[in-house]
Structure 1
Amino acid sequence: MGRSGIVRFLHAAASILSYPQDPRSFAQLFGALSSAHYTRGRITRIHRETPDTVTAFFTAGDGWIPHRAGQWARIGVEVDGKRIWRPYSLSAPEQGDPSITVRAQGTVSEHLVHRAAPGDVLYLERPEGQFILPEMPTALLFMVAGSGITPVMSMLRTLMPRRPDHDAVLVYVARNRESCIFHDEILELADQFRGLRPVFWFTEERGRLDAADPGAVGALCPDHRARATYACGPDSFVTAVEALGEVSGHAPVVERFDVARAATG
């Protein structure tokens, strides 16, 4: 049997197996089901956080599930006629309107920061990730660098209103005040909730923070050894915090914003 005969045989078999439907309708149905892992959303509002960072608020269609503070989701956008997916941490509190906070560092993030507008369609996969708080958290130390603040901001926005006196220290490393995402809101949260103590470290003024050095971290948070530590940021920063954990005797919970993600976001 030649190739054309094999094709005719397979088509005939498909017709028998799919009767009374045309086999092409099953192919179309399969194609639709293969896309069922994502849902569509729509941008409702864009708020500029810094000159190169925005928060995009969006509504989500059926299939989206509420996120836990600290989780991330893959977001797809159409750029020059091509759909491109990137992972972004969700910055909104639990039960709030979902949002992502994006710094312009690549194709998708440049589009979201400089060209996206309310009404634009987003493609959304379900939230995932284990960078989350336990149900009954102890005293906390958050160590973040750059846009690593985004999942931690979701945690703070969720935790502090529920537990206004909860003991939490935030060490936030940024290049300068202008590039420090959520700077003013963090101060407002600290004024409102006395359990939160933010410590800002601006590298243009003070140089690099050695996050692996117990002495350097201890100067900012003297009881850091007694706290559950959460770290998020570039790989080198998170690796340093992990080294600190080895000295302190307990491993931090970490989320890495690696170079590949930053370069292609």
Structure 2
Amino acid sequence: MTATVPRPSRGRPALSALRDRVLKVAELITTPLLPADYLDLLDPLRSGAALRGRIEAVQHETRDAATVVIRPGRDWRPHAPGQYVRIGIDVDGVRLWRAYSITSVLGRPDGCFTITVKAIPDGKVSNHLVHRTRPGTVVQLDQATGEFVLPEQRPAKALFVTAGSGITPVMGILRNQVHEARSTSGMDVVVVHSAPTADDVIFGAELRALAAAGSIRLVERHTAAQGLLDGAALAELVPDLAERTTWACGPVGLLESLERHWEGEGIADRLHTERFRPRVLVTGEGGTVTFGRSGRTLDVDGATPILDAAEDAGLLMPSGCRMGICYGCVLPLREGAVRDLRNGEVTTAAPGDGVLVQTCISAAAGACDIDH
């Protein structure tokens, strides 16, 4: 009896080859675009694509602040309350990236998350989002990140100090964790918020409702009538602040005042701060910045980050957190010198050195050439 040796199955290789041929034909038909480009038009939020979101609504909070509701792509991962997300949006034909705190509760039934944006003078992205963006706009996203979050072991007494849009990461925490923690573990929460007037308080009605329900003790400081909030004023408003673990977010001047006060009291380790811009400590004379591949040369002062100067001149720049944390703005310094605005450290490069610099926290320290 002769044994029959089965032939190897050719079905799978044949199907794979057929698929490859179909894709090649599709690429020829759709050139200069790729089939994936058409899929992006039909389903920009699909799994496996670049992470995007679609703006579902823009809800105005105050005269210059709005909550933007975003439906993220299918690869979006849950955030931790207090974290921020980088948003890439096209403004006047230029894609710009900014970081905004997430203000929504976890696990919304509609699958969306929210950011709340305050329009600042001359802010290209913030004004666009607050005043010009319409539902249906597709934006680019990064996964959420950030360390401005509550620890797993909640403190018995907490203090949140905010001013202006600094309330946004704190509202993300309050909505998700603080009122629940209070009811389950007796967490004592004080919120001190500073704004020019009562009408300028972002989330004012919701904060006051939390206070009325006993979830928080709310102290509002209306600076138009009461003056700016600082460490000394805060100590009067919250006499037991030395007993509280504190989270603070707001303008640099406020945060620096709080840091000095906490250091003077010997409790600096109990203060956690979140900055939307880096602290500028040391500036220099500035200089000429050349962007070799773009063919542009700018005269920049010693206090302006190279990233800001380039964007103001209309150059499309890589960017991220804009605080020197994420390294999304790094570019090669081909030649010259730049100064780190946070500590005054000068970085120099000669041709061929291969030095990388963060443009969001670096200013010109004389003539320099950026490979961009």
> Which of 56, 59, 64 is the aligned partner of 1:52?
64
> Which of 240, 246, 249 is the aligned partner of 2:257?
240
Which residue type is aligned with residue 171 of structure 1? V
Q: Aligned equivalents of 2:79 and 2:202: distance in 1?
A: 21
Which residue type is aligned with residue 265 of structure 2? S
Q: Secondary structure at the match of 1:128?
A: coil
Residue 155 in structure 1 maps to residue 173 in structure 2? yes
Which runs of at least 4 in structure 1 moved beyond 3 Å after TM superposition? none
Q: Aligned equivalents of 1:136 and 1:44: distance in 2?
A: 35
Give 1:240 deviation, angstroms: 1.2
Structure 2 counterparts to residues 1-265 of structure 1, below 5 A: 38-96=50-108, 97-105=112-120, 106-138=123-155, 139-165=157-183, 166-192=187-213, 194-211=214-231, 213=232, 216-251=233-268, 252-258=271-277
Given that 2:193 and 2:219 are in contact with CA atoms closer than 8 Å, whether structure 1 keeps it comes out as yes
Give 1:89 deviation, angstroms: 0.9
Give 1:233 deviation, angstroms: 0.7
Given that 2:248 and 2:274 are in contact with CA atoms closer than 8 Å, whether structure 1 keeps it comes out as yes
Given that 1:38 and 1:126 are in contact with CA atoms closer than 8 Å, whether structure 2 keeps it comes out as no
Given that 1:37 and 1:125 are in contact with CA atoms closer than 8 Å, whether structure 2 keeps it comes out as no
Q: Which runs of 5+ in 2 are unaligned?
A: 1-20, 38-47, 279-303, 312-321, 323-372
Which residue type is aligned with residue 180 of structure 1? V
**Residues 79-102 of structure 1, C-alpha deviations (whole Å, 9 max, x = no match):** 122211111111112333311100
Q: Secondary structure at the match of 2:81?
A: coil
Give 1:160 deviation, angstroms: 3.3
Give the stretch that moved more between structures: 201-210 or 148-157: 201-210
Q: Aligned equivalents of 1:156 and 1:56: distance in 2?
A: 18
Q: Are the structure 2 counterparts of residues 137 and 38 from structure 1 closer, same or farther at C-alpha, using a change threshold of 3 Å?
A: farther
Bigger radius of gyration: 2
Q: Aligned equivalents of 1:126 and 1:81: distance in 2?
A: 24
Give the stretch that moved more between structures: 86-95 or 160-169: 160-169
Given that 1:73 and 1:124 are in contact with CA atoms closer than 8 Å, whether structure 2 keeps it comes out as yes
**Residues 114-170 of structure 1, C-alpha deviations (whole Å, 9 max, x = no match):** 111211111110101101001121110001111000000001101134224421101
Q: Aligned equivalents of 2:60 and 2:265: distance in 1?
A: 38
Q: Aligned equivalents of 2:182 and 2:59: distance in 1?
A: 26
The size of the alignment, in residue pairs, is 234
* Identity across the alignment (%): 39
Which residue type is aligned with residue 199 of structure 1? V
Give 1:222 deviation, angstroms: 1.2
Given that 2:88 and 2:97 are in contact with CA atoms closer than 8 Å, whether structure 1 keeps it comes out as yes
Q: Which runs of 5+ in 1 are unaligned?
A: 1-19
Give 1:38 deviation, angstroms: 4.9
Q: Secondary structure at the match of 1:163?
A: helix
Question: What TM-score do the two structures reach when normalised by structure 2?
Answer: 0.58
Give 1:65 deviation, angstroms: 1.1
Give the alignment's Cα RMSD to 1 decimal.
2.7
Q: Aligned equivalents of 1:84 and 1:104: distance in 2?
A: 15
Q: Aligned equivalents of 2:166 and 2:79: distance in 1?
A: 18
**Residues 51-106 of structure 1, C-alpha deviations (whole Å, 9 max, x = no match):** 11100011100221111111011101111222111111111123333111001121
Q: Aligned equivalents of 1:200 and 1:68: distance in 2?
A: 26
Higher RCO (CA 8 Å, separation ≥ 6 residues): 1
Which residue type is aligned with residue 153 of structure 2? M
Given that 2:179 and 2:216 are in contact with CA atoms closer than 8 Å, whether structure 1 keeps it comes out as no
